[in-house]
Structure 1
């Protein structure tokens, strides 16, 4: 029997900015979101610059481990919520051995890095060459790179995700902050309080999650002297 490989369109949730109005975890949501009463290891971690670490093998390793620790914290938070909703838990895939493709993690890193560099996650007036959002044409779509035109599906495919699958699907959540709201818990709470982001987190189709966080805010209004962070969370499903 032969199979035709297919790509299912990704679910792209619009960005919720977290530059000024972050709410504490103790506040109850009127949308039916459970209050976050369980905390995960490193969920309050803030990404630190390279200059904060000594230029030694251990220092370089500790610097590089930051994003992995924050990713694990986010997975813990996401699975806490999915358990509450009686949805199967997700896992993080690890690429073992030598490989030319980087999967969802590579796609998330590329997008977060580009976003922090180009800083288009604002209004069309601030970044005229961006793609406007369908539901609010005054705002830029954070999921479409204005220079390359790449989408979550395209980035995942270019990073090698979907190889060996008869069909596959990805979804993406994006978050940026500056000054405050820089931790995995901050990003998670914002996503939970957005209908479309929350639906992405709870989507029963997903089987895996990858997340990358980079220094710098993707918001063009961000203070250049303030600390910032940009998160890209990707979900995937591969049908064999």
Structure 2
């Protein structure tokens, strides 16, 4: 493992006790996750689970006509491949890298061996899964009941929570695909946020200038997801003796 990269950059791996982490660490493989990489397709067999560190991965539900929209995002707070330990070895969603970076992958069999010990790993993964389901449910509600501008604020804030900077590399077309709306709607919403002085957008790059402004314009959905991650994982402690990061920040 490179000295520039550390499995502890992923909050779930950092929360494992010494014994559990010691069994998994030799099998963790550092991999680049490039923008647009598809980690798995809908219906595909899960040969690996993925723990992002500096990347963000978007989970999409794909329709028969090829259309899709994001149902959740996973960054350094979580793991990709929950279907594996929830009773199946395939998933109904597609996992696509939204923000390039790195992460660790682990063979599914190795994780299941640890999960089936019915110890701390099982309890941690189930609690994370409940938080992820909350994010999926709230995304569905948000997409149905809130404006594109509110949805964009929610999406930007959740993305910022997983990144060390206020710079995002993202085209309006890609954001439209994430939210499942027309590109024109994203263009209008982004234009408003820029006119308010909340963001600066140019050539596929978004710079957040006023996070407090975004928080003032976002719907309740962002706070619901944030609080659920904090509620379920706030008492988890890292091996370094520090409290695990609450929520996704």
Q: TM-score, normalised by structure 1?
A: 0.29
Considering Cα pairs closer than 8 Å and 6+ residues apart, tell me whether 1 or 2 has the greater RCO: 1
**Greater helix share, structure number:** 2
**Greater strand share, structure number:** 2
